[in-house]
Amino acid sequence: MRKINNLFVFMMLVVAFASCSEVEPLDPILSGQVNSGGDNGSGSGSSGGNSGGTSSGDYWPTAINNEWTYDSNGSSSTMKIIATETVNGQLYYKFAPQSGNGSMSSGIVNSSVNKTSGVYKLKTDDVVIDAGGITGTQTGYEYIVLKDNIPVNGTWNGSYTQTTTYTGIPPITFTTNYVGTILAKGVSETVNNEVFADVIKVKIDLTTNVPGVPATTIVSEYWYAKDVGIIKATNIGSGVNYENILVDYILY
């Protein structure tokens, strides 16, 4: 796989697709699935864990033209909010489309974030992919990336199902299960020589199961700074080990 230098890959749940007997992450793809009451996306899923209380603040500011630039070992990438849309009565903030390129695949990813009462959900639309000249479609989904209204060691969990369809090949359906954990709240973190005073640290364990292929497990950690957003993300597991840090941001 090529070097991953976009923060979006950290927000995916191993957005994997299967081609014959191989599974390859389509990176960088935002992931998503499941609100606290069930699935409203094009995938199917469920979530649970601590119900939480009142939001403790805004840990991912959402306004059109908000922009975050990240560095990964000298390579930069940008997340920018460009529009809003309402889906099933809920307001989502849409990011600029991203190009996903793996060693065997490519596609354009459209994603968005929703915040409701301290619950942050990331949603990805269906993706048209090209695997070595074989085109197909992977269904979209959404998942909970943060609950700012639960205590340290509080958890949430969920699962979702995706289907990848290639012309002339039977559809391939796989399931991803995830568990989110609050590791720390209200702590300070220094990133790129800037001190952020109110940070929530989150760990997300996710496992993707594709029929006939060994399960893929990825462990991701995110640092969310109050009134700033994601300031750092790390991703380990299944041969994928990367770190992205915030180097610049513009907020409105």
**3-state DSSP of the chain:** CCCCCCCHHHHCCCCEEEECCEEEECCCCCCCECECCECCCCCEEEEEECCCCCCCCCCCCCCCCCEEEEEECCEEEEEEEEEEEEECCEEEEEECCEEEECCCCEEEECEEEEEECCEEEEEECCEEEEECCEEEEECCEEEEEEECCCCCCCEEEEEEEEEEEECCEEEEEEEEEEEEEEEEEEEEEEECCEEEEEEEEEEEEEEEEECCEEEEEEEEEEEEECCCEEEEEEEECCCCCEEEEEEEEECC
Please state the pTM of the whole predicted model: 0.81
Query: Between 7 and 229, where is the model more confident?
Result: 229
Q: What is the pLDDT of residues 167-187, one digit of tens each?
A: 888 898 889 999 999 999 999
Query: Between 77 and 158, where is the model more confident?
Result: 158
Give pLDDT, residue 36.
29
For residue 8, what pLDDT band results from cuts at 50, 70 and 90?
low
How does the average pLDDT of the chain come out, rounded? 78
CB 47 within 8 A of CB 157: yes
Q: What is the pLDDT of residues 127-164, one digit of tens each?
A: 888 777 778 888 988 899 999 999 999 999 999 888 98
Query: Between 121 and 35, where is the model more confident?
Result: 121
Give pLDDT, residue 105.
53
- Classified by CATH at the fold level, domain 8-250 comes out as YmcC-like fold (2.40.360)
